[in-house]
Every structure is written in C-alpha cells, then in structure tokens.
Amino acid sequence: MTDIPIIEFEHFTFQYFSQAEPTLLDINLKIYPGEKVLIVGPSGSGKSTLGHCLNGLIPFYYKGNIQGSLKIKGQETQDLDIFRLSKIVGTVLQDSDGQFVGLTVGEDIAFAMENDCVASPVMHERVERVAKMVDMHQWQTSSPYELSGGQKQRTSLAGVLIDDVDILLFDEPLANLDPATGKTAIEIIDDIHQQMRKTILIIEHRLEDVLHRAVDRVIVINDGRIIADMNAHDLVCSDVLIKNGIREPLYVTALKYAGIPLTPEMKPGHIWSLDTTGVNERLRAWNRSVTPPEPKLDGSSILRVENLNFSYDGVRPTLKNLDFDIHAGEMLAVVGKNGAGKSTLAKLFCGFEKEDTGALYFRGNSLKGKSIKERAEVIGFVMQNPNQMISKNLIFDEVALGLRLRKVPEEQIRERVEKVLKVCGLLPFIEWPISALSYGQKKRVTIASILVLDPQVMILDEPTAGQDYSHYSEIMEFLRELNALGISIILITHDMHLMLEYTPRSIVLSGGEMVADTRASIVLTTADIIEKANLKETSLYRLAELAGIPDGTQFVQNFIDYERRTVS
C-alpha cells in the first residue's frame, strides 16, 4: 500500500440546486489504493450522493454546488468529465434490472467497449475473458429475462471490469437480492478484491451482510457528515450504529441481551472472527433464563387454500397441491426464491388469475366466481412499488379513490378517509400533494388506500425491500398495529429480520410446492429449507454453536421470545 491516496476528499461540500441544505458537509476522507472500504448510513444520510460525486453523476447528471476538493488519482474531479472518470471508477448500481442495457449478457458486458469504438473481434474476445471471471460465460447469449438477480448483477460487474478500472464502486449491491444471492455477491466482490487488488467501495446499509467477508474500514455517514471511520470490530463495540439508525449484527444484539459488554478483543466485527471463549457461560445462562411466552390460540380460519394447482402455460406448474389455513388475526410470511410461486399465490387470492384445480375459501365460503372487485372488499393487495399504485395528486383523493369508484356518498368518504389517515399517521398531510412525501410515507398512502376499503386480510408484496432500518421499523411497527386491530396480514418477503421479528409463522414455497410451514426460528436454522428458499443461516445459530449451546434452533426462538417481550 502506498502513501498516496487514490481518493481524497478535502473540505468537500455539495448542495443539490433543488435542496435548501448541503447534502454533504465538509467531508475529509482519504482512501488508499487496494483498500476495501464499506460506507454505511441510513437513507438520506448522503452516502449515495458521495458515490455520485465519485463516479461523476454529480455534477454531470445531478446539478449542484461544489466546494472544496475531490481528487481521484491525483486529479481534481471537477476538471474531469464523467467519461474520463468512468475509466477510473467503475460503478455497479443497485437496480440490476435497470442497469442492464444490452439485450444479452455478452452485449451488456461489451457496452463500454462499443462506446469506445473497439473493433468487434476484439470485443468478443475480451467479453469471453471477462465473462469467465464472473462465471457468466455460459450465459453470453441469454437475455435479462432468463437470468436471476444475482446473474444480472454479475453481468453488471463484468461490464465494469471490462474497462480495467482502478476503483470499483458498489451502490447498495444487496438491495434487490435475496439473502443467499446477497451472500454470494459479497463473496464475489471479495474474490475480485483478493485477485485483482482493486480499490473497492461498498455503499450499503445492511452492515452484517457486507461483513460476511473482511473489509479494511467502515465509514459511517449521517446528515452529510462522516461520523466514524474505524475498523469493524471497534465500530460494533461503539454506540455509533444505534445512534445513527443502522442495524447492528444480530449476534451483537443477542450478546447485549445477555448483558455481555463487547470489547474489541472479542473481534466482534464478523461472526467468523468472533471469540466468545470468556463469555460462553453467561450466554448459556441467559439462554436458560428465557421462558417461552403463553401460546397464543389460533383464531378460526380466515383463508383456506385447498389442493390448489395453477400453471401459467398449462405445461409447467407454478403452484402444486398447496393446502393450508390462514387464521384470523395472524401475521405471517410467505417466503421462497424468485419464481417459487409467492406472487402467483397472492394473485390467485385477489382473483387476478384463476386456479386450475382446488379452491380458496374466505371464512368457509368459496371464492370461486367472485370478481376481483368483490374479493377486494375482504382481501387487500399492496404492490411493492408505491409509484405503481399512486395515480392522484392529493393524498385525500388517492385514498378516496376506491370508495369513489364504489359510488360511496361523498360525506361518508370524507369520514372514512379521515379515519384511515388517522390510523396511518397521515392525517396532518390530508391536503398535501403526494409528491411532497418520502418513500416510506408514500408506502403508507398506498396501504391507507387499501385499508379504506375495510379489508379483513391484507397481502403486502415485499413491504420492506430496499428500506433502511428506520423505515423498515416504521413500516413494520405500523403493520403490527394494524394486525393488533384484527386485520390478518400476509407478507411476501425475503427479509430475514422481518421473519424473526414480526411473523411467528412462515410458509416456505419452493418450485410451487410448500416445503415448510413453521416458525421462523426453524426456517432460518434448517439447512435444507434455507437452501430451497435462497435464505441464509442466521448468525444467531452460529453464535449458539460458538457458545456450545446444543439446540441452536431453540436459542434463536429464545432470542425472538426475549425480544418480543422486552422490546414491544
């Protein structure tokens, strides 16, 4: 490692023209060649803006006012343009679909060379070589529709590596990946770092997942400032994470619940470096002290799925022989890898698709022959992306939409909308334009617009995808309140924290079949289920192993029970 930084921020301040306050304030930061640095911070902290400054999207695409200096490889970035910067800094964006420019893998990898006017034979030879590096050479003629999220991301990585850049910048690489794919992504990034000695910057808020492999430093950003710049062990021992709305690793939370103070000597930055020799007995004692909660009695069946079979093309089955009950007042997770049939199941409930054989029942009455609109009176469906649901300017109109379409008298509409907005904490904004809201608030508006129809069951598709810790907590606590009001809630999700913290029961689908219907503690500790659903083993299980606790699954369950009792 040399002493000359490859990236150097000096008193760097940036303010978007559209913003009243600077988004980055007096940033001083040096990154040296070959370092692997993780940049964490909550949404709106400025971490993405920092990334944009590095790859040139600021000021090339997003305009604003820059003060101070940012040098990359000794050159002031304001004297460079985005094209020259892109030869030094290669960026992999979070949206693996959106950044797939080419029609096939090969074409997408070649994109930067096409723009450099490289001759076609040279391109084919180099694409072949780089595709091999990320293990995508078998897929060169595949289109994005045939690829998994992880494969798309590897393609994007190859498209950046083809330029032989010095710095690789990953902007929230885990945001759209399931846990197993995210884990592989972190491993690939680490392998590239080991083999090619490139400087690597990872911008993420999912700290524990990135720390699956080693990093040299973690930089914490909040409110546009650098809060901390330290190694993972020191960071985890400090109170920086909690103070800045970043979720600490689960095993760290467990150690704290057990009353064990963390020290850098325990090397708690990564689960694989953690040394618990001195504290094992205390951990075991805590584990014994947790008592199970009173078992909650299941309510009557609100939705019944009976021998359900469905296929889109009449050849490949999408859902096979599903048979289970959902009880009134339940909050449950439907998990499984992409294409396992989770969303299809939701579509069948809502009547968007019709089952081939089998039946669905709502409180014992068959849903057969009921229209989309009729089903919507009892089963509400909230899409993942709120922008795909919002069609009005004002919050009131958006929430009132479903009632107006049902020709409810206007005075009743007013009353019902106000009631729902009050529940959703949006009443102060009733006359606001939706465009003035944050993403999390928009999400609430879409939930409110379904809630106003008074459904007894709500199905939410990936409600927490891409949300940072505080937005995640905000949305989930809100859903828990709705659940407490008696609404049954079905969550389609990949989020392991959500399963641990909010849904006592998980249904796991794989290839259209139900492979498990049980507690999260079992799902996240059973190797077979983890593999089938593209999840990963929770670090709590490894912690139990370290402490010599034989029943790791029970340890995880104790963690869940303890948390439910003390936190809520």
Partner 1 sequence: MKMKLFSYNYEDTFIHSLSGLTKLICFIMLTFAVMFSYDIRVILGVLLFSALILRASKIRWSQIKLMVIYVLIFLAVNAFITFLFSPEQGVQIYGTRHPLFKLFGPFIVTQEQLFYQTTKFFKYASVIPLGIIFLLTTNPSELASSLNRVGVHYKASYALSLTLRYFPDLQRVYHDISQAQQARGLEMGGKASLKDRFKNSLMVVIPLIFSTLDRIEVITNAMDLRGFGKGRKRTWFNSSRIKREDIIALLVSLGITAVTVLVSVFVNHGRFYNPFI
Name the site residues for partner 1 (rule: CB under 8 A). Answer: 55-57, 60-61, 82-83, 86-87, 91, 93, 95, 98-104, 106-107, 110-120, 123-124, 127, 141, 145, 159-160, 312-313, 347, 350-352, 372-373, 375-376, 380-381, 383, 385, 387-391, 401-402, 405-406, 449-450, 453
What is the b/e burial string over 431-469, where b = at least 16 CB atoms within 10 angstroms of the residue's CB? Answer: ebebeebeebbbbbbbbbbbbbbebbbbbbbbbbebbbb
Compute the least distance from the CB of residue 84 to partner 1, in Å.
9
Compute the least distance from the CB of residue 484 to partner 1, in Å.
24
What is the separation, in whole angstroms, between the first and last Cα of the chain? 48
Closer by beta carbon to partner 1, 373 or else 565: 373
Compute the least distance from the CB of residue 90 to partner 1, in Å.
8
- CA angle (148, 154, 156) in 5-degree steps: 105
Compute the least distance from the CB of residue 442 to partner 1, in Å.
11
CA distance linking residue 34 with residue 30, whole number of Å: 12
At 518, which amino acid appears?
T
Compute the least distance from the CB of residue 520 to partner 1, in Å.
28
If 0-12 CB within 10 Å is exposed, 13-18 middle and 19+ buried, where does residue 321 land? middle
CB atoms within 10 A of CB 307: 12
CA distance linking residue 2 with residue 215, whole number of Å: 18
If 0-12 CB within 10 Å is exposed, 13-18 middle and 19+ buried, where does residue 397 land? middle
Compute the least distance from the CB of residue 462 to partner 1, in Å.
13
Closer by beta carbon to partner 1, 50 or else 389: 389
CA distance linking residue 22 with residue 17, whole number of Å: 9
CB 91 within 8 A of CB 66: no
Compute the least distance from the CB of residue 305 to partner 1, in Å.
19
Compute the least distance from the CB of residue 137 to partner 1, in Å.
15
Which residue reads 């000021």 in tokens?
A: 59
Phi and psi dihedrals of 557, rounded to 5? -60, -40
Q: Which of 189, 230, 206 is nearest to 90 (CA)?
A: 189
